[in-house]
């Protein structure tokens, strides 16, 4: 069968690999239907993802159809439409014991540390697969994993109804955060450099949008919150300066959520953190968010509403990666179609 492998930075190849087989009673064989191209996939392709190992079959935003199940499989049956939960954890380290397997000391992520979903078939244990209403289009189902990233950030920020939430960045993850924050009943301001992205954010429920390059974000936050500051700031831009700004604009007793992997230092004074007793939280992957997101999807409360902008056939994967790389302002989410 065919698979897409990043062999080294900027070298993406379609290769032939063996057809996977069921080896354990809990195994499930899945035929891939859709795979989203994530920013982290692009970072692996560029050789800038500090956590990935090469060569690697990439892809962790994956939807497919169950084709065979092991003898111990109970929740799934042949024909089910499923999404992949890409986390594999040890179950015994401190993080796992604390119920946070997303930061397991031995964490292995599908498509990052182990072979991922950009291939025609794969086998995973039942616990890493979640069924979704088969009446929902594949283009909606494949967005479950990105929504869980947004849900995790909202959870880490303890967003509640009535909170004011500032989201820095209106890219795909920023929009996912926006959707989940609005479902929590929060009022949301979102910033970006691109006016088209801000317009899309308004269409998806943003209460206030700010063109960061042309407006004073701090002043806009002060005006919007009547001087209080944003109760929650979620940084989906992930630059040192946006982290610094988060500390400045968050309210007393507020929460700052950081999603980035930038290794550069930020200049953060202690005074505003202590004075306002700010909580700063990292947000990585997700913790038990799949059931919640799938329930929202099945109820029709989550739809991509234009977040998926481009589709390419599996055979066009090189063209897809090139297009995403060359047209970042035109692509919100690109997906590969395996039909």
The CATH code of the domain that includes 210 is: 3.40.50.720
Q: Can you give the pLDDT at residue 190?
A: 98
Read off the tokens for 119: 């291939």
* Whether residue 210 is found in the same domain as residue 319: no
* Whether residue 212 is found in the same domain as residue 182: yes
List CB contacts of 268: < 8 A, sequence separation 6 or more. Answer: 243, 244, 247
- Which range of residues forms the domain containing residue 211? 150-282
Q: What is the CATH number of the domain that holds 27?
A: 3.90.180.10
* Whether residue 26 is found in the same domain as residue 130: yes
Read off the tokens for 225: 């919150």
Partners of residue 87 on adjacent β-strands: 109
* Whether residue 119 is found in the same domain as residue 158: no
Q: Give ∠ CA 97-260-5 in degrees, rounded to 5.
A: 85
In a domain, 293, yes or no: no
Q: Can you give the pLDDT at residue 236?
A: 97
Cβ-contact 133, 302 below 8 angstroms: no
Q: Can you give the pLDDT at residue 50?
A: 84
Q: Can you give the pLDDT at residue 339?
A: 82
Report the domain count for the chain. 2
Q: Can you give the pLDDT at residue 41?
A: 95
In a domain, 52, yes or no: yes
* Whether residue 118 is found in the same domain as residue 187: no
Q: Can you give the pLDDT at residue 329?
A: 87
* Whether residue 16 is found in the same domain as residue 72: yes
Cβ-contact 145, 62 below 8 angstroms: yes
- Distance separating alpha carbons of residues 287 and 14, to the nearest angstrom: 32
- Quick one: DSSP state of residue 268? -
* Whether residue 129 is found in the same domain as residue 176: no
Q: What is the pLDDT along the chain (339 residues), one digit of tens a residue?
A: 999 999 999 999 999 999 999 999 999 999 999 999 999 999 999 999 888 989 999 999 999 999 999 999 999 999 999 999 999 999 999 999 999 999 999 999 999 999 999 999 999 999 999 999 999 999 999 999 999 999 999 999 999 999 999 999 999 999 999 999 999 999 999 999 999 999 999 999 999 999 999 999 999 999 999 999 999 999 999 999 999 999 999 999 999 999 998 889 999 999 999 999 999 999 999 999 999 999 999 999 999 999 999 999 999 999 999 999 999 889 999 999 998
In a domain, 298, yes or no: no
* Whether residue 158 is found in the same domain as residue 248: yes
* Whether residue 207 is found in the same domain as residue 102: no
């Amino acid at each position: 069968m065919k698979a897409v492998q990043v062999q080294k930075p900027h070298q993406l190849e379609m290769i032939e690999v063996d057809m996977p087989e069921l080896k354990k009673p809990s195994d499930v064989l899945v035929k891939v239907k859709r795979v989203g191209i994530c920013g982290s996939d692009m970072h692996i392709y560029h050789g800038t993802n500090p956590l990935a190992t090469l060569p690697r079959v990439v892809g962790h935003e994956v939807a497919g159809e169950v084709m065979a199940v092991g003898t111990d499989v109970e929740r799934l049956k042949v024909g089910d439409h499923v999404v992949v939960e890409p986390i594999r954890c040890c179950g015994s380290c401190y993080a796992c014991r604390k119920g946070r397997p997303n930061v397991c000391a031995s964490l292995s992520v599908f498509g990052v540390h182990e072979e991922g979903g950009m291939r025609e078939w794969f086998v995973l244990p039942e616990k890493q697969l979640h069924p979704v209403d088969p009446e929902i289009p594949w283009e909606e189902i494949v967005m479950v994993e990105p929504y869980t990233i947004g849900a995790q950030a909202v959870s880490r920020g303890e967003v509640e109804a009535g909170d004011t939430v500032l989201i820095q960045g209106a890219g795909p993850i920023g929009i996912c955060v926006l959707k989940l924050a609005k479902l929590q009943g929060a009022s949301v301001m979102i910033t970006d450099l691109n006016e088209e992205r801000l317009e899309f954010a308004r269409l998806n429920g943003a209460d206030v949008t700010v063109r960061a390059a042309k407006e004073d974000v701090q002043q806009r936050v002060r005006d919007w919150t009547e001087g209080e500051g944003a109760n929650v700031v979620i940084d989906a831009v992930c630059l040192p300066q946006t982290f610094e700004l988060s500390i400045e604009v968050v309210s007393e007793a507020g929460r700052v959520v950081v999603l980035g992997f930038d290794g550069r230092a930020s200049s953060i004074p202690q005074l505003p953190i202590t004075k306002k007793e700010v909580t700063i939280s990292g947000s990585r992957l997700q913790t038990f968010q799949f059931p919640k997101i799938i329930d929202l999807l099945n109820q029709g409360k989550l739809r991509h509403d234009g977040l998926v902008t481009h589709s390419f056939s599996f055979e066009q994967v090189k063209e897809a990666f090139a297009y995403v790389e060359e047209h970042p302002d035109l692509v919100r989410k690109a997906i590969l179609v395996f039909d």
